Amino acid sequence: MLLSGKTAIISGAASKRGIGLATARRFAAEGAKVAILDIDAAAAEAAAALGDGHIGLGCNVADKASCNDAVAQVIRQFGVIDILINNAGITQPVKLLEISPADWDRIQDVNLKGVLFLSQAVIPHMRARKQGSIACMSSVSAQRGGGIFGGPHYSAAKAGVLGLAKAMAREFGIDGIRVNCVTPGLIGTDITAGKLTDEMKAKILEGIPLNRLGTAEDVAGIYTFLASDLSAYVTGAVIDVNGGMLIH
C-alpha cells in the first residue's frame, strides 16, 4: 500500500461524485487515515462511509478561523498530518463582462484564498516535523485561459494556485515539505451543476485525444502519486490529467 500509516487532510471531499471523495476512497484503500474537510454538512457521513478511523469536519476553506479550527481538531485526533490535499473549489460558467464584484470575490476566495488559508494552518505542523506533502487543485483552465466550463475569474483563480503552490514549494523545500499541483481537464463530476449540455460535451470530446472525459478516479490516482513517496523528489511540479486536451 502506498500510504500505509499516513494521515491526510482532503478539502472538498464530501460531494458524492467528486474528485475529493474519490481521492479519500483511494487514500483509505492505500492505508491512510483521512480527514475530510468540507463546507457541506455531508462531510461526516462521507468520512464514516470510508470505514473506521476517518473523520469528517465542517470547514469553509475561505475562512481562516474555520481552517485553523478544523486543522487543530485533526491534529488532536490523528496526532500528525502527513498530507494536505487542497481540493475544494467552485466554478461559474460566465463571460468576462458578466462577472460581478461578488462573483469575482467568491471564486477567488474558495479556489485561491482557500489554498492559502488551509496551507497556512497545516504548514507550521509539517515544518515542525520536517516532512509533508501538499497537492493543490488547479485546472487546465489556468493553462489555456478557460474555454472549457469555468469563467475567466475561475481561470484567474486556478492560475493563482499554480503561482502560490510553486512559491510554497520554493519556500518550504528546506523543511522537507513538497508542494505540487494537478491540472485536470474536464472531469465528470457535479461541479458543472447540470449546465454542461450533450452538445457542449461532444464538442469538447473532439479536442481530447483519449476521446473521453476524465473520471474522478483519474485525478485521485495523481493525488495518490503526489502524496506518496513515489514522488519523493518531486516539488513545484504541475501534473496534467487531461486526456491530451492540452499538450504543451
Residue with smaller CB distance to ligand NAD, 129 or 215? 215
Q: Which residue is nearest to ligand NAD (CB)?
A: 89
Q: Which of 10, 35, 59, 83 binds ligand NAD (CB under 6 A)?
A: 59
Identify whether the C-beta of residue 4 lies closer than 8 Å to the C-beta of residue 30: yes
186 lies in the binding site for ligand NAD (CB under 6 A): yes
161 lies in the binding site for ligand NAD (CB under 6 A): no
228 lies in the binding site for ligand NAD (CB under 6 A): no
Site mask for ligand NAD (CB under 6 A), range 195-224, x = bound? ------------------------------
- Give yes or no: 233 in active site: no
What is the radius of gyration, based on Cα positions, of the chain?
Answer: 17
Identify whether the C-beta of residue 169 lies closer than 8 Å to the C-beta of residue 235: yes
Q: How far apart are CA 115 and CA 88, in angstroms?
A: 8
162 lies in the binding site for ligand NAD (CB under 6 A): no
Q: How far apart are CA 89 and CA 73, in angstroms?
A: 22
Find the shortest distance in angstroms from Cβ 140 to ligand NAD: 6
Site mask for ligand NAD (CB under 6 A), range 23-42, x = bound? ---------------xxx--
Q: Of 27, 78, 117, 154, which is the active-site residue?
A: 154
**Alpha carbons within 13 A on the beta-carbon side of 69:** 11
CA distance to 74, 143, 162, 195, 212, per residue, from 159 (Å): 29, 7, 5, 23, 24
Residue with smaller CB distance to ligand NAD, 19 or 169? 19
Task: Point out which residues pair with 134 in neighbouring strands.
Answer: 84, 179
Identify whether the C-beta of residue 178 lies closer than 8 Å to the C-beta of residue 169: yes
Find the shortest distance in angstroms from Cβ 103 to ligand NAD: 14
**Strand 33-38 to strand 55-58: parallel, antiparallel, or no bridges (unpaired)?**
parallel
Task: Point out which residues pair with 137 in neighbouring strands.
Answer: 182
Q: Which positions are catalytic?
A: 154
Q: Which positions lie near ligand NAD, rule CB under 6 A?
A: 11-12, 14-15, 18-20, 38-40, 59-62, 87-91, 110, 137, 139, 184, 186-187, 189-191
